[in-house]
Amino acid sequence: MRTPLVIGNWKMFGTLAEARPLATGVRDGLRRVRGADVALCPPFTALAAVGEIVRESAVALGGQTCHWDAAGAHTGEISPGMLVELGCRYVLLGHSERRKEIGETDDLVNRKVKAAIAHGLTPVLCVGETAEERRQGLTFTTVEGQLRAGLAGIPAETIAQGVLAYEPVWAIGTGQNATSAQASEVHGYLRGLLSELTSKEIAQAVRILYGGSVKADNAAELVAAPDIDGALVGGASLKVADFVAIAKHAARAATAPRGA
């Protein structure tokens, strides 16, 4: 049984004045909720403040990326150890916005995944196809390439500690989510690949999140699908009520029969 995980990716939103009430609202809104793990990934500048607010609550903290080196002359970067020092448990890696805007390659993502694990962070490896790749029938080819490259050289027992996120690029920030059938098909494929790379047991234990226009009104159906173990939420994570509602749907899905 995999505990659902719901992660809020605030992207480059959240001044301290905005981040504090948002984190406080999420913490308080989920105080009595059991059955789902929840994490917030604010911008680096808000990590300390949000960390202070969620400390000793069930809400965990995560970074939106990190460098692969432990320290060094990398202007503007942040190391995995720095995230740990601020109380982060998770780090998003290979998000499509970073692949596209910053030019992160599969090789860099792989180095980051290894560095995150070496520092005790749980990497959330993001994979997903563009609209054009889906049109050309290349969805499985794309996610398979990203998964194999992202996890290259990582031992099976270590892969077991990670989280995957299937985020079709065409669904991110567009309001057009994948249907639960579309997402389930890819999640099943990814789990099959994980099984090949590790073992059936490990593949069954790794959480695979869905991300891409998850909202309060479509989350219930998505997280109820077999093989969808929670959500990576962008836009809707910036509204307390919406994010809390999504996390509650995931917690409910954990206690309801899967696929019901």
The site for ligand PEP (CB under 6 A) is made up of 9, 11, 167, 172-173, 211-214, 232-236
Contact predicate 70/115, CB 8 Å: yes
Q: How far is the CB of 80 from ligand PEP (least distance, A)?
A: 20
Nearer to ligand PEP, 187 or 198 (CB): 187
**185 assigned to active site:** no
Q: How far is the CB of 212 from ligand PEP (least distance, A)?
A: 5
Nearer to ligand PEP, 117 or 232 (CB): 232
Angle of CA points 61, 32, 53, to nearest 5°: 35
Catalytic, out of 119, 133, 167, 187: 167
Q: How far is the CB of 186 from ligand PEP (least distance, A)?
A: 14
Nearest residue relative to ligand PEP (C-beta): 234
Contact predicate 110/91, CB 8 Å: no
Nearer to ligand PEP, 167 or 227 (CB): 167
* Nearest alpha carbon to residue 125 among 72, 197, 34: 197
Q: How far is the CB of 231 from ligand PEP (least distance, A)?
A: 8
Catalytic, out of 95, 119, 187, 249: 95
Provide the token pair at 223: 């997280």
Contact predicate 187/233, CB 8 Å: no
Nearer to ligand PEP, 110 or 237 (CB): 237
CA distance 119 to 252: 32
* Nearest alpha carbon to residue 233 among 113, 92, 44, 77: 92
DSSP string, 230-249: EEEESGGGGSHHHHHHHHHH
Nearer to ligand PEP, 133 or 167 (CB): 167
Provide the token pair at 91: 């780090």
Q: How far is the CB of 237 from ligand PEP (least distance, A)?
A: 7
In which element (H, E) is residue 183 found? helix 180-197
Contact predicate 127/147, CB 8 Å: yes
**167 assigned to active site:** yes
Q: Which residues participate in catalysis according to the annotation? A: 95, 167
